[in-house]
Structure 1
Amino acid sequence: MIAIPFNRPHIAGNEFLYMAQAVESGHISGDGDFSRKCQDFLERRYGVPRVLLTASGPAALEMAALLCRVGAGDEIILPSFTFVSTANAFVLRGAKPVFVDIRPDTLNMNEAHVEAGIGPRTRVIVPVHYAGIGCEMDALEELAEGCGASIVEDAAQGIEARYRNRPLGTIGSLGALSFHETKNVSCGEGGALFINDGSLIERAEILREKGTNRSKFFRGEVDKYTWMDCGSSFLPSDLQAAFLLAQLERLESITERRRRIFDNYREALAPLEEAGFMKLPIRPGHCQGNHHMFYLLLETEVVRDGLLEFLKSRGILAVFHYLPLHLSPMGRAFGGREGQFPVTESVSSRLVRLPFYNDLSSSDQETVIRSVQAFFGR
């Protein structure tokens, strides 16, 4: 029986009140009052020209692919160490994923390997900010400018994190955030598209509203709306937005609580790192993290699997993370093979994520820590 889960949903304050207000208002479909309040909050906080809530993080990425006019034969550069949604958004448009390896320190896309993947069909570079630590965006921006590619940030794990004081998701032309239940703030599912290039705003609104100019109609800018472009229904319901707003209102206290959990893990497990049993997360000085997760990099896959089983036997659910996309059946269809990206393959087989959620109690965290120590005989 699992007594300490890997993740647990969190009630920050006014979630139920706001959801009831949405129902009482008579509008629970997309783009209601709560959707607008969430979008306004994110625009003001991060200085984004336009934010559009989406039904999920993947939906935001799919919108980004459409906005970048990705099509058959185009190539997209992304890390192999990421979730399938990063690749799917562009493969759905007919593009070919060009995978690159990750850095051994931050586990982010290795910017030194990107240039080798650039070709005449490169359309988009997609940095994935792993664990809320920013990729080396200065170098990636220079590479993108040199080849005429757009940057779409996969900032699914990036809310409140910064790279050289620039909020993640605001650096590329577009940024995709996730509000899945495992994220720092959540509405179960849900996401947001940060539109940093103002020239894309009007088309983004059209794509999100089934390819129609419905948003203009509701603002009174046209007397009827019609089909303008290819699109889909990317909107979340206003019930989701009501739940999300309550979480966003507590964003600072949530981030602080997660910082304490993160720091507790680091302080308690640092002696195991010093003894050579593991490596702990690395945050470069020019990156401000958001304490999204706490992971351990162990010496071997055998040790990793042993720790997972040991924790499970004590009622603690810890988990591994991404499997290399280039070694998946789809990845192999695009030319992936063993040994192609050694850091990705090694990290994927050795990484453990410890339980981490906003309501993780001090006593439960102490149980996790002591269990990890016990596994290593400490």
Structure 2
Amino acid sequence: MSAEFIPFNRPWMTGKELSNIAEAHANMHLAGDGPFTRRCHEWLEQRSGCVKALLTHSCTAALEMAALLLDIQPGDEVILPSWTFVSTANAFVLRGGVPVFVDIREDTLNLDERLIEAAITPKTRVIVPVHYAGVSCDMDAIMEIARRHALKVVEDAAQGVMTDYRGKALGSIGDLGCYSFHETKNLISGEGGALLINDPALVQRAEIIREKGTDRSRFFRGEIDKYTWQDHGSSFLPGELIAAFLLTQLQHAACITESRLACWQYYHQRLQPLEACGLLRRPFVPEDCRHNAHMYPILLNPGADRQTALQVFGSAGIGVVFHYVPLHNSPAGLRYGRATGALPVTCSVAERLIRLPLWIGLTQTQQDRVVEVLYGCLAGGA
């Protein structure tokens, strides 16, 4: 009898999503910015301490809003890691911006703050730190560099809901922050995201950009007697059914995070012997960071054969994945951006990283099986 398949990810529902959707249906308000959207905004603002939160239909949309809001012009340079999802760069490329790829740190796999200043030119406008796996970049150092050079900071906190850096919520530290609620994230709405605005001067224009370039939000608040086209923009808001689904996830955020952390910690404990004998490296979380157990990535030794390991996991019925293909070596990255050097850490990590299954409901028995297969791959069954 074949062993049970263990998927890489399994979306978790609180049990209240459908009742919220039914309530939205009964309210006869299905378009965006209804009562559920407002409650999501309130939750995000209270949790993060940002000036204003705005739901979007994806984190990609939030990043694109940020590029519009900061008036990125053709030729403007944006410093970011190559070790990230394509949306981080593409949002600025759409405005004519030039991604300038900087290498990552070996410990957290985040943007190496020590390399940022060497990448700054007179054309640099923005720094985009990406908080990989919900573990914060060194935001004190990054914000100080931005202050000295009069640059804006957009936090890509797609993986960072319910995480902190020195007591501050990720997404609330830079000028703007971006969240994801994609079904692969900890808190989900299928597709979805949010833009966190931390500079009060950007709030009104952000609302205009999000509402197709109109001041429609002010009209619905009764601040003006009609709304008109004011600026460039697009339709970035999600429908009310998405917000209704998301709200219950936000309301259960603490228990969701606690459950995922327990799963993460069990892996961490079980894999300590493999790290101790030098066969892999476990994820690293600095003391001043509170993470959310978004993922459990391991780094194989440089001499290990990752492709063989992936095949062994597949044959055992266990879903594991790798990422990313570095952006600076991609066809679009070569066309639209440039790298600051060879980015050796990024290239090495991209060839060695494996993400283990992690989702609410994953049992310790299932995790034991994942670990046993990994032991078999790396230690010959030891």
Q: Secondary structure at 2:55's aligned position in 1?
A: strand
Task: Name 1:89's counterpart in structure 2.
Answer: 91
Matches within 5 A, 1:196-207: 196-207=198-209
Which of 361-370 and 309-318 deviates more? 361-370
TM-score normalised by structure 2 residue count: 0.96
Q: 1:289 aligns with which of 288, 291, 296?
A: 291
CA distance in 1, matches of 2:279, 2:116: 32
Q: Secondary structure at 1:353's aligned position in 2?
A: strand
2:102–2:340 CA contact under 8 A, matched in 1: no
CA distance in 1, matches of 2:15, 2:51: 28
2:180–2:193 CA contact under 8 A, matched in 1: yes
Amino acid at match of 2:18: F
Matches within 5 A, 1:270-285: 270-285=272-287
1:301–1:350 CA contact under 8 A, matched in 2: no
Q: Secondary structure at 1:53's aligned position in 2?
A: strand
- Indicate how the Cα distance of structure 1 residues 330 and 42 shifts in structure 2: closer, same or farther if over 3 A, else same: same
Amino acid at match of 2:213: G
Amino acid at match of 2:86: V
CA distance in 1, matches of 2:277, 2:305: 15
Aligned length: 378
Task: Name 2:14's counterpart in structure 1.
Answer: 12
Alpha-carbon shift at residue 363 of structure 1 (Å): 2.6
CA distance in 1, matches of 2:66, 2:338: 25
Task: Name 1:266's counterpart in structure 2.
Answer: 268
Matches within 5 A, 1:301-316: 302-316=304-318
Amino acid at match of 2:208: I
- Indicate how the Cα distance of structure 1 residues 154 and 287 shifts in structure 2: closer, same or farther if over 3 A, else same: same
Alpha-carbon shift at residue 307 of structure 1 (Å): 1.3
Matches within 5 A, 1:150-161: 150-161=152-163
Q: 1:238 aligns with which of 237, 240, 254?
A: 240
Q: Secondary structure at 1:20's aligned position in 2?
A: helix
Per-residue CA distance 1:24-76 (angstroms, 9 max, x = gap): 11111111111111110111122111000000001000001111111111000
- Indicate how the Cα distance of structure 1 residues 338 and 172 shifts in structure 2: closer, same or farther if over 3 A, else same: closer
Task: Name 1:74's counterpart in structure 2.
Answer: 76
Q: 2:256 aligns with which of 254, 257, 265?
A: 254
CA distance in 2, matches of 1:54, 1:358: 25
Task: Name 1:61's counterpart in structure 2.
Answer: 63
- Indicate how the Cα distance of structure 1 residues 3 and 313 shifts in structure 2: closer, same or farther if over 3 A, else same: same
Q: Secondary structure at 1:153's aligned position in 2?
A: strand
Q: Secondary structure at 2:99's aligned position in 1?
A: strand
Task: Name 2:100's counterpart in structure 1.
Answer: 98
2:80–2:101 CA contact under 8 A, matched in 1: yes
Q: Secondary structure at 1:193's aligned position in 2?
A: strand
| Percent identical residues | 54
Q: 2:188 aligns with which of 182, 186, 189?
A: 186
Which runs of 5 or more structure 1 residues have no equivalent in the other structure? none
Task: Name 2:331's counterpart in structure 1.
Answer: 329
Amino acid at match of 1:326: H
Which of 39-48 and 301-310 deviates more? 301-310
Alpha-carbon shift at residue 9 of structure 1 (Å): 1.1
CA distance in 2, matches of 1:243, 1:367: 33
Which of 297-306 and 226-235 deviates more? 297-306
Task: Name 1:26's counterpart in structure 2.
Answer: 28
Task: Name 1:37's counterpart in structure 2.
Answer: 39
Per-residue CA distance 1:283-306 (angstroms, 9 max, x = gap): 111111111100110013752211
Alpha-carbon shift at residue 336 of structure 1 (Å): 4.8
CA distance in 2, matches of 1:63, 1:299: 40
Which of 217-226 and 77-86 deviates more? 217-226
Alpha-carbon shift at residue 362 of structure 1 (Å): 2.7
Task: Name 1:218's counterpart in structure 2.
Answer: 220
Alpha-carbon shift at residue 335 of structure 1 (Å): 6.0
Alpha-carbon shift at residue 13 of structure 1 (Å): 2.8
Q: Secondary structure at 2:305's aligned position in 1?
A: helix
Alpha-carbon shift at residue 337 of structure 1 (Å): 7.2
Per-residue CA distance 1:256-302 (angstroms, 9 max, x = gap): 00110000000011100101110000011111111110011001375
Task: Name 1:139's counterpart in structure 2.
Answer: 141
2:110–2:130 CA contact under 8 A, matched in 1: yes
2:160–2:179 CA contact under 8 A, matched in 1: yes
- Indicate how the Cα distance of structure 1 residues 337 and 128 shifts in structure 2: closer, same or farther if over 3 A, else same: closer
TM-score normalised by structure 1 residue count: 0.97
CA distance in 2, matches of 1:110, 1:137: 11
